[in-house]
Amino acid sequence: MRPYRSSIARAVMLGVSLSLAVPPVALAPLTAVARPAPDSFADLAAKLLPAVVNVSSSQVITARNGVGPEMPIFPPGSPFEQFFKDFLNRNRPGQRGGNDQPPPERRAQSLGSGFIIDPSGYIVTNNHVIEGADEVSVTLQDNTILKAKIVGRDESGDLALLKVDAGKPLPTVSFGDSSTMRVGDWVLAIGNPFGLGGTVTAGIVSARGRDIHQGQYDDFIQTDAAINRGNSGGPLFNMDGQVIGINTAIFSPSGGSIGIGFSIPSDMAKKVISDLREYGHARRGWLGVKIQQVTPDIAESLGLKDAAGAMVAGVTDGGPAERAKIHSGDIILKFDGHDVKEMHNLPRIVGDTDVGKEVPVVLWRDGKEVTVETTLAERPSDEKLAAADQPAQPDNGTRPTDIAGLGMKVAPVSQDLKDKYQLNSDQKGVVITDVAPNTPAAERGLKPGDVIMEVQQNQVASAGDVQKQVEAARKADRKNVLMLIQREGGVQYVPLSLSKVKQPG
């Protein structure tokens, strides 16, 4: 990487050469006014440090028979590699010459950070800091160590609320409005990196709305303030000393800070923390739909101008969506006044909406916008959501039929096909029995055993139903025909090109 000084010099030189290469033109100067950097963060840090704590959690790890300590990692060819391998093999339970008794229980410890939000001792941290712990303790700035009780935890949002009894009011910090933070704003991070204790780092907001694939509610603030292991659960402050983020994750090939850290926005955390305090768990709004991304091909096949929104791929029985008459194949464009720009926006918008609230949902259905009203329920536990519905289909034994132009053969569900492809006893739809190579069906990854449940958002029960919908799409000059496919991984809408079958070679 070039030194900072030489990079600036190069930029100035390029500016000069470019200005000489074009005729002089009268251009309005580009002006930008930035607030000056603080002379020092010392006064702000001194005010905030007393409310930031170290969080230590521990749990008992019971070794299983036959499992001993892990092998340390050495460079390839290191003389220590064979030494440790021999040592561990000799001392592994059940090995010759070793101790036949399993190793004793050991206690694993995790270190993180937190911050006090109430003088009575309520402390916010990350769920992963205290996950699985049977003991949690908190160390205040004056080195006082207090036992902490877990009030509530939220795995989906990676947040937890603790409570300590200090016998006196504790210093606190308050949540700010993370929605007002802009890229380039100064921020201050305080935490417990590597167990070193209260550490202050400064930086800016590098980006907003980051999805790092940690969960369906990802909406992180990215910052270049140094965040390391042990900073998890610590606060990210604005220049008014308000918490606008909870430091949660870093991107780092080395395990140390490289200036890419991620914080949960305070606007998302405030509601969760309030729920944890009142109910012991987070109460998130729930619509009861399975969704998928709207691709350009799907949008075209349904006459939707832009590939936006979230496509409903399934509706939970008895859920708010079913009660509102939302169907598979509908595309959710707006929810409670919020634009759903892409699939990943919807879970966060719905989750942030109050349980029991009646909200309008704008759908794309049958080539036009339709608005329905629904009352949100509370999101069930992951265990309850794991159950999937399997609709019914009567048995019918018919020979496979070729669907011209798509490169596949289909047949109604029969007992033989149920047995061959391990389908459910009450399976509904039409089974794909053969897929030709270099065809639209093959290009989209369809394979024998997949079940076509809908074509162009119409249920199908026979090869004739499929052919009818395909021909209707062709007559409407559609470039693609949309099919709802059920396979091992669930249900998904798949657009198939209506162009001619490609020939091999």
Report residue 381's pLDDT band, with 50, 70 and 90 as the boundaries. confident
Is 463 inside a domain boundary? yes
Tokens representing 212 are 């790092």
The tens digit of pLDDT for each residue in 318-346 reads 899 999 999 988 999 999 999 998 888 89
Q: Single out the residue in 217, 245, 279 at which a domain terminates.
A: 279
Residues 155 and 183 in one domain: no
Tokens representing 126 are 């990350």
Give the length of the chain. 505
Do residues 441 and 432 touch, judged by C-beta distance below 8 A? yes
Residues 306 and 257 in one domain: no
Q: Single out the residue in 247, 262, 279 at which a domain terminates.
A: 279
174-to-51, 117, 177, 220, 272 alpha-carbon distances in Å: 10, 6, 10, 19, 15
| pTM (global) more than 0.75 | no
Give the residue among 336, 327, 342, 331 at the shortest CA–CA distance from 361.
Answer: 336
Tokens representing 355 are 């349980």
Kindly provide the b/e burial profile for residues 68-95, where b requires at least 16 CB atoms within 10 angstroms of the residue's own CB: beeeeeeeeeeeeeeeeeeebeeebbee
The tens digit of pLDDT for each residue in 389-436 reads 444 344 344 578 888 788 898 988 888 888 788 888 788 889 999 888
**C-alpha–C-alpha distance, residues 442 and 449, integer Å:** 13
Residues 194 and 252 in one domain: yes
Domain count, the chain: 4
Is the per-residue pLDDT at 503 higher than 50? no
Instruction: Spot the catalytic one: 158, 267, 275, 297.
Output: 158
Give the residue among 172, 153, 175 at the shortest CA–CA distance from 162.
Answer: 153
158 as an active site residue: the answer is: yes
**The predicted structure's pLDDT at residue 393:** 40
Q: Single out the residue in 245, 279, 313 at which a domain terminates.
A: 279
Residues 182 and 151 in one domain: no
Instruction: Spot the catalytic one: 232, 301, 328, 497.
Output: 232
Report residue 317's pLDDT band, with 50, 70 and 90 as the boundaries. confident
Q: What is the β-pairing status of strands 135-139 and 145-154? A: antiparallel
Is the per-residue pLDDT at 74 higher than 60? no
What is the CATH classification number for the domain harbouring 320? 2.30.42.10
Is the per-residue pLDDT at 70 higher than 80? no
433-to-44, 417, 418 alpha-carbon distances in Å: 69, 9, 12
* Mean of all residue pLDDT scores within the chain: 81
142 as an active site residue: the answer is: no
| Rounded average pLDDT over 75-94 | 55
Is 300 inside a domain boundary? yes
Is the per-residue pLDDT at 182 higher than 90? yes
**C-alpha–C-alpha distance, residues 120 and 117, integer Å:** 9
Q: What angle do CA 305, 311, 314 make, to 5 degrees?
A: 155
Do residues 281 and 275 touch, judged by C-beta distance below 8 A? yes
**C-alpha–C-alpha distance, residues 339 and 336, integer Å:** 9
Residues 428 and 483 in one domain: yes
Is the per-residue pLDDT at 499 higher than 70? no
**C-alpha–C-alpha distance, residues 464 and 399, integer Å:** 12
Is 33 inside a domain boundary? no
Is 38 inside a domain boundary? no
The tens digit of pLDDT for each residue in 208-261 reads 888 776 666 778 999 999 988 889 999 999 999 999 999 998 887 777 778 889
Residues 119 and 223 in one domain: no
Do residues 159 and 264 touch, judged by C-beta distance below 8 A? yes
Residues 313 and 344 in one domain: yes
**C-alpha–C-alpha distance, residues 308 and 287, integer Å:** 19
Residues 232 and 323 in one domain: no
Tokens representing 118 are 């109430």
Alpha helices in 179-226 (DSSP H): none
Is 15 inside a domain boundary? no
118 as an active site residue: the answer is: no
**C-alpha–C-alpha distance, residues 117 and 170, integer Å:** 9
CB atoms within 10 A of CB 361: 23
Kindly provide the b/e burial profile for residues 447-466, where b requires at least 16 CB atoms within 10 angstroms of the residue's own CB: eebbbbbbbbbebbbbbebb
Residues 110 and 146 in one domain: yes
Q: Say which range, 144-148, 156-160, 206-210, 212-216, has the weakest mean pLDDT.
A: 212-216
The tens digit of pLDDT for each residue in 16-64 reads 333 344 455 555 555 566 667 788 999 999 999 999 999 998 876 655 4
Residues 310 and 362 in one domain: yes
> Residue 368 pairs with which residues in a beta bridge?
365
Give the residue among 294, 289, 371 at the shortest CA–CA distance from 331.
Answer: 294
Side-chain half-sphere exposure of 96, counting CA atoms within 13 A: 1
What is the CATH classification number for the domain harbouring 125? 2.40.10.10
Helix (H) and strand (E) counts for the chain? 12, 27
Is 338 inside a domain boundary? yes
Amino acid at 284: R
**C-alpha–C-alpha distance, residues 81 and 85, integer Å:** 6
Do residues 435 and 496 touch, judged by C-beta distance below 8 A? no
Residues 127 and 52 in one domain: yes
Residues 419 and 466 in one domain: yes
Look up the domain containing 214 and give its range.
178-279
Is 357 inside a domain boundary? yes
Do residues 166 and 121 touch, judged by C-beta distance below 8 A? yes
Is 459 inside a domain boundary? yes
Do residues 135 and 58 touch, judged by C-beta distance below 8 A? yes
